[in-house]
Amino acid sequence: DRGPYFQSQRKENYTRRVEALLSRGLAYEKDGAVRFRMTREPVLIRDLVVGDVTRALTDREEADPDFVIMRSDGSPVFHFVNVVDDLEMGITHVIRGEDHLSNTSKHVALFQAFGVEPPKYAHIPLILNADGSKMSKRDDGAALTYYTENGYAPEAVLNYLCLLGWSPKDGREVIPVKELIANFDLPQILRHNARFDHEKLKWMNGEYLRAMAPDRFYELSVHTLARAGVDTNQFPTAYVKAALDTCMGKLRILTELPGYGGFYFTDKLELDADAKAALTPEARERLQKLRDAYAGLAEFTASNLEATLKETAKTLGVKNGVLVHPARIACTGKPSGPSLYHLLEVLGKDRVLARMSAAMAS
């Protein structure tokens, strides 16, 4: 326990540390603020990524190298807070963007003033947008919550982020988390800035979704559907799992799921203009024949449904696809989606017959 963890609750800690520096002559008061006596000698920064860096004072700093650590209103400054928090919380590694390297000499000097070894520093390359501009907190994708809210599996995002500026020796891209942890090595991080490729992340996310254990896919899918306003709690768990099983391996991101498999979870299937146009009078007549054949099935299984459709097509003298297309539209409202015979089995006989009747009447 190294709390409190909010800076607003740590004022006593900062005040105590300032007083310690003042008592040893390592800081002084000026214009109501407290300033740290910065060393005039070059500061050696040992960095796991950049290597050893010696930071000397700039011409501008030489005139007045000291810097404020506590303002006149009693509030501590970032550089001071940063060091005190790391010191008191036992931080062993500081991993941050390379743009903070220029501040690190101040931090090292403060650690030395407190008589402790600085933590190990690792200043990593910046993440850029696809166009090469610096990614800011206002950009889409700068916050991790963006990905969980937009259909990405956390494990895929972690995998992709690890590969920004680093790669395993064997060149693989999809790597299990345990392996990432075992093989990740800060000194192997490349020095150049990495561009964030959203399309590459989508591809990787699709790979993860395809290889995902059914229970994990179910867990993520239910949350995604709930965010889209689909309440799967209205349906038996076995039905929901069977429906989602037909969607596995078909998605790149989970936000595609409501559009791909949302038809399972509504009793009011809406047919758009294109879907209705596909159900020509001739198509409706054929669909009626297929419905009649399906109504007579004792076992509503995928294999029986496929065999029955093929037999009906043969009787009508048409190709199988002539029946597949209107059957799919009638039962899903979409021209494409999961395997027809498996989705029909999951929907069940009552839903399938009802949807076919509704489509023919629309």
CA distance 196 to 336: 31
Say if residue 234 is exposed, middle or buried (CB neighbours under 10 Å; 0-12, 13-18, 19+). exposed
Q: Which helix (H) or strand (E) holds 299?
A: none
Show contacts of 213-221: CB within 8 Å, 24+ apart: 214/241, 214/244, 214/245, 214/248, 217/244, 217/248, 218/244, 220/153, 220/254, 221/247, 221/254, 221/257
Catalytic residue from among 137, 169, 178, 268? 137
Token output for 145:
């919550």
How many distinct helices (H) and strands (E) make up the chain?
Answer: 17, 9
Closest CA to 309 of 322, 285, 290, 292: 290
Q: How many CA atoms lie within 13 A of 93 on its CB side?
A: 10
Helices (H), 140-197: 144-149, 154-162, 177-183
169 is annotated as an active-site residue:
no
Task: Give catalytic residue positions.
Answer: 137
